[in-house]
Chain A
Amino acid sequence: MLSAGDKVVLSLMVFIPLAIVLFFVWFPALATVFLSFTTWSGIGGLKAIHADGIQNYHQIATNYPPFVPALEHNVLWLVVFIVFATPLGILIAVLLDQKIRGSRIYQSLIFLPVMLSLALIGIIWELMYSNNYGLINSLIGRNGQTNFIDWLGNPKLNIWAVLVEASWRQVGYVMVLYLAGLKAVDPTLREAATVDGATPWQTFWRVVFPVLRPINVIIVVITVIESLRAFDLVYITNGGTNGLELLSVLVTRNILGQQSRIGFGSSLGVVLLVIALVPIITFLVQQLREEKRR
């Protein structure tokens, strides 16, 4: 049985973090939902808030040109991560898991971008993509005044350029997580599969991959988080305009800065929240179903 002292410690350990989460996560989230139905410039205190109904949402739907591109880009970010960056990370992890010479070096090199902050990655690649002085244009010989490729200024190209930067980092992140999981796979399973005559492809997909279920769940979660969280790269590159709009940038654009439209920014935040809720609810439903099964 628990002593009185234990009970005190336990309740502190539960209620202090709970209070922190309530105050720093739940309260702002609910306040954001509340503020999304108001108009407020941030000046004049709380009495300057005045209720507006769904005007903000109406404006987002009808009179806010950056919204649809931002939505498209957020979805594109998620798709590229799921279809390209994460599978590439898994592939590299599988390749480097084998006993090849220098696998440690490759791992370190590929993991290096993960250690850099996203702001720094944005600045590094800005130099690489520069029109007249960048590495890429100079290497392919197109850095003159008329024949350069405008990687970051062309609204059709720049989202892909930034996705390359983001994938550069995501690949290393996924690779390291997957390598850790692969190292924990029981080697006898693989031997058994080889004895049964399975090809490496079949070994991976039929034996190793199902065993790595917990790691796979983690990988999916961080992929979704990283893609919904995207902000730093586009903000550093050009402030999130001209083909690089994202919902997170639209939120900060309306709330931070000198003349805040806090109600409008909050409604954009609520849209982002609703989008984020889709994978969250899917994940939770799956987890609860599993627990019921067990």
Chain B
Amino acid sequence: MSDSESGTPGAQSPLSRRSVLKGLAGAAGLAVVPGALLEACSSSKKTVSTPSSAAPAATTSAAAAPSSAAAAPSSAAAAPSSASGGGGGAATGTISFGSNYSDAVPKAAFAAMIGGFTSANSNAKVTINTVDHNTFQNNINNYLQGTPDDLFTWFAGFRMRFFASQGLATPIDDVWDKIGANFSDAFKAASKGDDGHYYFVPLYNYPWAVFYRKSVWAAKGYQIPTTWDAFVALQKQMQKDGLVPMAMGQKDGWPALGTFDIINMRLNGFQFHMDLMAHKVGWDDPKVLAVFKQWTEILPYQQAGANGRIWQDAAKTLLNKQAGMYLLGSFVAQQFTAAPDLADLDFFPYPAIDPANAQDSIDAPIDGFMMSKKVKNKDGATALLEYIGTAQAEALYGKTDPSDIAAATNADTSTYNPIQQKSVEIIKSSKNIAQFLDRDTNPDFADNTVAAMIQSFFNAPTQVASQLKALEGQAKTVFTS
């Protein structure tokens, strides 16, 4: 039996509307005052205004940018690292550092590296403002035009050069006069803007390569392929043996871009790849079609249902010995949490396709730092960058973060695990280093349009020519200048 409504409110109640309003006003006032006090004495500084949409921040748990694995979305927090020790360095004042190293391991490694600076320069103080990884990247436009920190974390590639050409970063040729000797030519080239000046100091990078489990290969007697034909024959054999020859997880859109990059660099050469990234050649170029035709040869051996699988699940397939190989960045090692599994992991460079290009190129995205245009403490920031660009400082970072390798040439590699040591060799031996497609070209275009095109390629490989034509039509609207 349903209850009928009670009597009309307000008629007999002791509370009149007026007193309720007064009470609400008083309560609101009480809430504001302590809030204001808390705000003033809180040490957390939000230097980046985040949009109120929670969905993009929440996606960090499902989809990760290449340089960080599964992370709980962390709200903006700051860890002011206070000066300690009695070093007599020349830097003074407070240097603010905007950082997107929000995951636990990179955050700790970064703090350790900065700690080395503050202990050598007791008059300087570095304030690190950490923002959630993806939020920082999404807000970078507003951040740099608003009130940016003196220094900020960023990546080499298209966006870095874009900021430089828009006048949002300070050229740091003076820093490179001191640290230039510590870096190879490939890193020097990646740190320059379009005008030839330096804008970027590299911290670490990591290679994209083909990963496999040594025990599985030893049991089945597989050999590392160095030519395309051997590669295809190997995958055919793996399929006969009941393994998934090549794992693939393309739900997030970006993982398969690595495969496109490497096939393009092997087939058409590094210079063509860079021209394509800068949109000097179009996506409907016959050479690009040739890349996809090459890919179609190995598509039958690629893990089915890639468009519905996240890369972590694809890595799990490799971990569970159900897949023979997986082309991914070295951060795949983070999925191999048990020590024996990690010891069993190994990698090799993608096989050569055109002997003229051999295996001279590799995707090895570089993370590092830039100085904003509105830098307040230029001398301090310059000193900090000069410190970071040394082998010792970068080794301090590498000691705590085991998945990347320092960019400085002579950084101490004694603490590196086998994957890291092999990464050093493969990057050293590569003549050309690309940054990965979504850093070498317009990132939105890469992660939305190119990624979608590759997903439709997986769904309908025979229609790749029309898909590329449509992609070029989209590219023309994005690269308008």
In the assembled complex, A242 has its CB within 8 A of some CB on chain B = yes
Using known A-B contacts A119-B58, A151-B308, A155-B459, determine if residue A256 contacts B313 with beta carbons closer than 8 Å. Answer: no
**Complex interface bits, A175-214 against B, C-beta within 8 A gives 1, otherwise 0:** 0000000111111000000000000000000000000000
In the assembled complex, A150 has its CB within 8 A of some CB on chain B = yes
In the assembled complex, B417 has its CB within 8 A of some CB on chain A = no
Using known A-B contacts A65-B470, A119-B54, determine if residue A153 contacts B3 with beta carbons closer than 8 Å. Answer: no
Residues of B whose CB lies within 8 Å of any CB of A are 1-5, 21, 51, 53-56, 58-59, 61-63, 137-138, 140-142, 145, 159, 162, 166, 168, 244, 250-253, 303-309, 313, 316-317, 322, 442-445, 448, 451-452, 455-456, 459, 470, 473-474, 477-478, 480
Contact between A235 and B305, CB atoms less than 8 A apart: no
Partner of B56, one of A158, A183, A256: A256
Interface size class of A (residues with CB under 8 A): 35 or more
In the assembled complex, A146 has its CB within 8 A of some CB on chain B = yes
Contact between B308 and A258, CB atoms less than 8 A apart: no
Question: In the complex, which residues of chain A have a beta carbon less than 8 angstroms from the beta carbon of B455?
Answer: 241-242
Question: In the complex, which residues of chain B have a beta carbon less than 8 angstroms from the beta carbon of A131?
Answer: 305, 308-309, 313
Contact between A239 and B59, CB atoms less than 8 A apart: yes
Question: In the complex, which residues of chain B have a beta carbon less than 8 angstroms from the beta carbon of A39?
Answer: 480
Question: Could you name 11 residue pairs across A and B whose Cβ atoms are closer than 8 Å?
Answer: A119-B54, A131-B308, A145-B304, A150-B308, A153-B309, A185-B2, A187-B2, A232-B55, A239-B448, A259-B159, A260-B141
How far is B449's CA from A261's CA once the two chains are assembled, in angstroms?
14
How far is B63's CA from A126's CA once the two chains are assembled, in angstroms?
12
Task: Please name the residue on chain A nearest to B242 by beta carbon.
Answer: A145
In the assembled complex, A167 has its CB within 8 A of some CB on chain B = no
Partner of B322, one of A129, A145, A184, A186: A145
How far is B305's CA from A42's CA once the two chains are assembled, in angstroms?
38
Residues of A whose CB lies within 8 Å of any CB of B are 9, 39, 42-45, 59, 63-66, 117, 119, 122-123, 126, 129-133, 145-146, 148, 150-155, 158, 182-187, 231-232, 235-236, 238-239, 241-242, 252-254, 256-261, 264
Contact between B307 and A236, CB atoms less than 8 A apart: no
Contact between A236 and B55, CB atoms less than 8 A apart: yes
Question: In the complex, which residues of chain B have a beta carbon less than 8 angstroms from the beta carbon of A259?
Answer: 141, 159, 162, 442-445, 478
Contact between B307 and A154, CB atoms less than 8 A apart: yes
Question: In the complex, which residues of chain B have a beta carbon less than 8 angstroms from the beta carbon of A66?
Answer: 452
- Min CB distance A234 to B, Å, is 10
Partner of B303, one of A44, A145, A182, A235: A145
Contact between B145 and A43, CB atoms less than 8 A apart: yes
Task: Please name the residue on chain A nearest to B481 by beta carbon.
Answer: A41
Question: In the complex, which residues of chain B have a beta carbon less than 8 angstroms from the beta carbon of A158?
Answer: 308
Task: Please name the residue on chain A nearest to B303 by beta carbon.
Answer: A145
Contact between B61 and A153, CB atoms less than 8 A apart: no
Contact between A130 and B1, CB atoms less than 8 A apart: no
Partner of B307, one of A44, A130, A150, A183: A150
Partner of B159, one of A9, A63, A126, A258: A258
Task: Please name the residue on chain A nearest to B459 by beta carbon.
Answer: A155
